[in-house]
Amino acid sequence: MLGPMTSSPPPPSAAEPTPPARPTPLSPLRPMTARGRGEAHRVASPLELFFDLCFVVAIAQAGVQLVHAVAAGHSGQGILNYAMIFFAIWWAWMNFSWFASAYDNDDALYRIVTLVQIAGVLVLAAGVSKAFEEHDFLVVWLGYAIMRFAMIAQWLRAARAGRGAERTMALRYAGGVFLCQVGWLGLLVLPEHARPWVFLVMALLELSVPVYAEKDFTTSWHPHHIAERFGLFTIIVLGETIAAATVAVKSAVDEHNALGELLPIAIGGLLIVFAAWWIYFVVPIHGHLRSNRESFLWGYGHYLIFGSAAAIGAGLEVAVEEAVGKAHVSTLTASAAVTLPTALYLLTVWVLHSRYFKVGIAQQLVLPTAALLVIVCTFLGEWAVLGAGIVSAGAVASGVMLTVRMAARQKGRAATTA
């Protein structure tokens, strides 16, 4: 669920009463009424954190299969399968996150249905290897169906509690999700060469459901809560990237005495992940999300942020395997497996986050320039990953120095004026 392309309702005024605190005892059933957008101290719940961790299991499985595909020389098919499976994981996660921000009533039934969604992503994760290796998407489709029908049940509960335009909106969501799930059957019944087109069409239809559903009524998602949820998931995905790279380096060191080849990859990968964390969290984004139009684009854009962040870890594994002679790819391909998702991450974070807070051309050009230089690092051979890490760290350092310099200038001007 995302904000529509219409203007958002004004924030609560000081005269409006503060929404009451949520009841703490667990009840079997409560009306699924909307929560207040101005609710104070809104943070991610333990159930949401558990939800995120279980979804990362599926992302890890997709990353492992991407590594195998690229290392075996099947980069094109591997990237396509990764994009399709990652979309299913990301879209189910994001729909739940925005729904929960507006309608989490934390009763027993809500928790049970959420656990069913978690079961669905675990089923999906179990089918990832068959999707990559045998091009069989049945288990992936089944896992996605479990998640989506659970989401339909949540929307029907919201429709039952809602009235008027709110009820219509919830029913539109439920109907749209159901029709899209039927459409995804095309992955199972159509020939293999048609699957990319099925994915493209169905992905566009899925993205259109929130636009249509919320054209007359805006859900009361909480800006601070949404920003925290996306930030936490970014941290978890980056943590998975570090874990994957660590396991790859450890196994390579255990089996081969190739520390000289692996050390630049390890250092470069660490610098990339540290820089990825820094540039995402350098400024709070929740204030920017008060516009529904911006929140709509911001949420959709995280498909590229999450996908590229997870792909960096897969790329580091490919680079390690190539360095010790296990991968059947060239050094250029192994380098590109790291540099291209890194450049995409830098560029996407700039588009969705940083550009709104940069002042002056110099600050605006830091991340786009860094993305271009990271791509150039692809041609540095065995030093490509280290070069990309140094460029990424340099982008962070440049941003900090430019910010400090601008603050000093502003302070000097204020002192002169005084």
Q: Distance between CA 318 and CA 27 in Å, rounded?
A: 49
User: What is the structure's pLDDT at 256?
Assistant: 63
Tell me which residues of the chain have a pLDDT lower than 70. Answer: 1-27, 248, 251-252, 255-258, 286-294, 354-360, 403-404, 406-418
- Which amino acid is it at 366? V
Which residue, chain included where needed, has tokens 């729904």? 99
Query: Which residues lie closer than 8 Å to 67 by C-beta, 6 or more apart?
Result: 314, 317, 318, 321
Is 270 within 8 Å of 389 (Cβ atoms)? yes
Q: Tokens standing for 105?
A: 């009533």
Q: Distance between CA 234 and CA 347 in Å, rounded?
A: 16
Query: Which residues lie closer than 8 Å to 226 by C-beta, 6 or more apart?
Result: 97, 98, 101, 286, 289, 295, 299
Q: Tokens standing for 136?
A: 């069989």
User: What is the structure's pLDDT at 291?
Assistant: 59
Reported as a single tens digit per residue, the pLDDT across 317-361 is 899 888 888 888 899 999 999 999 999 999 999 888 766 666 668
Helix 75-103 vs helix 292-323: crossing angle, to nearest 10: 140
- Which amino acid is it at 22? R
Return the half-sphere exposure (C-beta side, CA atoms, 13 A cut-off) of residue 37.
19
Q: Phi first, then psi: what are they for 19, rounded to 5°?
A: -55, 140
- Report the candidate in 195, 99, 186, 107 with the shortest Cα–Cα distance to residue 148: 99
Structural domain boundaries in the chain: 46-220, 224-417
Q: Distance between CA 137 and CA 335 in Å, rounded?
A: 30
User: What is the structure's pLDDT at 315?
Assistant: 92
Q: Tokens standing for 51?
A: 């939800």
User: What is the structure's pLDDT at 274?
Assistant: 92
Is 298 within 8 Å of 289 (Cβ atoms)? yes
- Report the candidate in 416, 370, 254 with the shortest Cα–Cα distance to residue 320: 254
Q: How far is CA 5 from the centre of its chain?
A: 21
User: What is the structure's pLDDT at 412?
Assistant: 62
CA angle 50, 21, 165 (to 5 degrees): 85
Which residue, chain included where needed, has tokens 């859900």? 219
- Report the candidate in 226, 219, 316 with the shortest Cα–Cα distance to residue 9: 219
User: What is the structure's pLDDT at 44?
Assistant: 87
Dihedral sign for Cα atoms in the order 350, 228, 308, 147 = negative
Measuring CA to CA, how many Å separate 320 from each of 15, 102, 103, 167, 257? 60, 44, 45, 53, 13
CATH topology of domain 224-417: I/LWEQ domain (1.20.1410)
User: What is the structure's pLDDT at 262?
Assistant: 81
pTM for the predicted model, two decimal places: 0.86
